[in-house]
């Protein structure tokens, strides 16, 4: 299973569009891994996780492979993860030779927004609800939505993805996992865990995690026995508000066996 992290920033991106803070100014100067677009991922080229407004940028940067996916799973309806107006661009009024019907999966809010936004183009999409702890076969992978601590007014999900005995936990946006999510994961083995680290050194572990929460979550996984010696833990979804550049994040996380995501990072399991 191949996972390509298309973006690694929180809602405002880094540098943030209108921001002149020290972090954003420095990121502009440094470029490279300090330039972060809104978070999304591509799994085995056929499954996309989330559809941020930066998807267009990802296609410009990485090529048509980003828009050739057959399946799309959505974590929640915040605009930096779900921008259905651009999904409409995959219809005859806006595109030619765009391939087969795309299957879109998400919670009830995602499904409703899709039906509203794609009302006149429904024949080009299959829109299906998913539920927590119910495993679905999607694009040759087994995918289980798990409850997140994130958007109180909807069932926000993180996703557990399995293929041929290999596993990936796509674990954001969320604060420290609900106990029911930890309990479900306690019966599994995790090869790669991709975790929310929006808050950096800010003292907050709800809605989003900080560095301490990421370290605690890795320790919790170890306590539950779900990691093995080759398991990887990767922190992502960073906000400029935490004031940390890529090198700063590596100094704080790598000594604890936690990798720092960057745009275009590829993970293989």
Structure confidence by residue, pLDDT tens digits, 21-52: 999 999 999 999 999 999 999 999 999 999 99
pLDDT-derived band at 142 (thresholds 50, 70, 90) equals very high
Residue 99 has pLDDT above 90, yes or no: no
**How would you classify residue 29: left for phi > 0, otherwise alpha for psi between -120 and 50, otherwise beta?**
alpha
Domains of the chain by start residue, with CATH: 2-268 (3.60.15.10)
pLDDT-derived band at 216 (thresholds 50, 70, 90) equals very high
The structure's pTM equals 0.97
pLDDT at 174: 98
The string over 67-106, giving b where at least 16 C-beta atoms fall within 10 Å of a residue's C-beta and e elsewhere, is: bebbbbbbbbbbebbbbbebbbebbeeeeeeeeeebbbbb
Dihedral over Cα of 101, 102, 103, 104: its sign: negative
pLDDT-derived band at 74 (thresholds 50, 70, 90) equals very high
**How would you classify residue 181: left for phi > 0, otherwise alpha for psi between -120 and 50, otherwise beta?**
alpha
Spacing of C-alpha 161 from chain mean position = 12
Which residue in the block uniquely carries the two structure tokens 């680290």?
A: 197
Give the count of beta carbons closer than 10 Å to the beta carbon of residue 189: 15
Beta bridge partners of 140: none
Percent of the chain's residues with pLDDT above 70: 100
Q: How far apart are CA 234 and CA 196, in angstroms?
A: 9
Percent of the chain's residues with pLDDT above 90: 97
Task: Give DSSP secondary structure letters for 56-94.
Answer: HHHHHHH-GGGG--SEEE-S---TTTB-HHHHTTSSTTT
For residues 5-13, average pLDDT:
98
Summarised one tens digit per residue, pLDDT across range 228-249 is 999 999 999 999 999 999 999 9
Instruction: Tell me the average pLDDT of the chain.
Output: 97
Q: How far apart are CA 150 and CA 173, in angstroms?
A: 6
Cβ 40 vs Cβ 55: under 8 Å: yes
Which residue in the block uniquely carries the two structure tokens 């299959």?
A: 126
Residue 66 has pLDDT above 90, yes or no: no
Q: How far apart are CA 249 and CA 153, in angstroms?
A: 31
Which residue in the block uniquely carries the two structure tokens 């998807």?
A: 55
* Phi, psi for residue 160 in degrees, rounded to 5: -105, 120
DSSP state of 119: G
pLDDT at 20: 96
For residues 101-124, average pLDDT:
97
Summarised one tens digit per residue, pLDDT across range 144-203 is 999 999 999 999 999 999 999 999 999 999 999 999 999 999 999 999 999 999 999 999
pLDDT at 253: 98
DSSP state of 20: -
Give the count of beta carbons closer than 10 Å to the beta carbon of residue 266: 9
């Amino acid at each position: 299973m191949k996972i390509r992290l298309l973006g690694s920033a929180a809602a405002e991106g880094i540098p943030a569009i209108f921001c002149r803070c020290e972090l954003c100014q420095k990121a502009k100067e440094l470029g490279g891994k300090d330039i972060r677009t809104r978070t999304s991922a591509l799994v085995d080229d056929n499954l996309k996780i989330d559809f941020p407004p930066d998807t267009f940028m990802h296609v410009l940067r990485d090529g048509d492979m980003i828009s050739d996916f057959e399946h799309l799973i959505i974590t929640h309806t915040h605009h930096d993860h779900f921008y259905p107006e651009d999904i409409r661009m995959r219809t005859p009024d806006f595109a030619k030779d765009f391939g087969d019907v795309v299957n879109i999966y998400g919670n009830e809010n995602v499904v409703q927004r899709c039906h509203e936004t794609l009302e006149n183009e429904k024949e080009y999409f299959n829109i299906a609800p998913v539920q927590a702890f119910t495993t679905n076969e999607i694009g040759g992978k087994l995918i289980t939505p798990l409850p997140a601590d994130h958007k109180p007014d909807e069932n926000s999900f993180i996703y557990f993805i399995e293929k041929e005995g290999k596993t990936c936990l796509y674990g954001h946006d969320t604060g420290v996992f609900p106990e029911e999510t930890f309990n479900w994961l306690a019966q599994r083995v995790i090869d790669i865990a991709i975790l929310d680290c929006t808050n950096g050194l800010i003292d907050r572990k709800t809605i989003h995690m900080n560095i301490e929460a990421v370290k605690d979550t890795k320790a919790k996984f170890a306590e539950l026995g779900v990691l093995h010696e080759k398991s990887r833990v990767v922190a992502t979804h960073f906000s400029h508000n935490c004031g940390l550049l890529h090198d700063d994040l590596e100094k704080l996380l790598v000594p604890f066996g936690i990798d720092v995501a960057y745009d275009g990072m590829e993970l293989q399991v």
